[in-house]
């Protein structure tokens, strides 16, 4: 359960920080937006590292039980990745708008 909660927590933080970056970009505060995206990337990396540890253990023969909680955690991670990708593109558009 600790592993699942780690993925959910870090992925949720990554998504929330990406949203903060979007809000900063809307206000044309691009340095602030960049800082939020850097923090979002760090949180996403933490979530991804937890997932990578699971994959490594699986490859080494240490099976992890898959349950609804694990599926939910993976869902959070994939949503955070997708959301962050979308926010990056939106920030580029906001930057172009100011030029």
Among 10, 48, 63, 72, which one carries the catalytic annotation? 72
Query: Distances from the Cα of 94 to the Cαs of 11, 15, 97, in angstroms?
Result: 24, 19, 5
Residue with tokens 């540890």: 53
CA–chain centroid gap for 84, Å, is 6
Question: Does the annotation count 63 as an active-site position?
Answer: no
- How many residues are given for the chain? 99
Domain 2-98 coded CATH 1.20.58.80? yes
pLDDT in tens, the chain (99 residues): 888 899 999 999 999 999 999 999 999 999 999 999 999 999 999 999 999 998 898 899 988 888 899 999 999 999 999 999 999 999 999 999 987
The residue ranges of every structural domain in the chain are 2-98
């Amino acid at each position: 359960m600790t592993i699942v909660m780690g993925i959910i927590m870090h992925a949720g933080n990554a998504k929330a920080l990406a949203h903060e970056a979007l809000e900063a970009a809307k206000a044309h505060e691009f340095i602030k937006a960049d800082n939020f995206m850097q923090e979002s990337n760090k949180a996403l990396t933490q979530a991804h590292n937890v997932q990578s540890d699971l994959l490594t253990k699986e490859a080494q023969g240490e099976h992890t039980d898959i349950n609804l909680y694990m599926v939910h955690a993976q869902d959070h991670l994939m949503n955070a990745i997708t959301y962050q990708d979308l926010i990056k593109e939106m920030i580029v558009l906001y930057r172009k708008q100011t030029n």
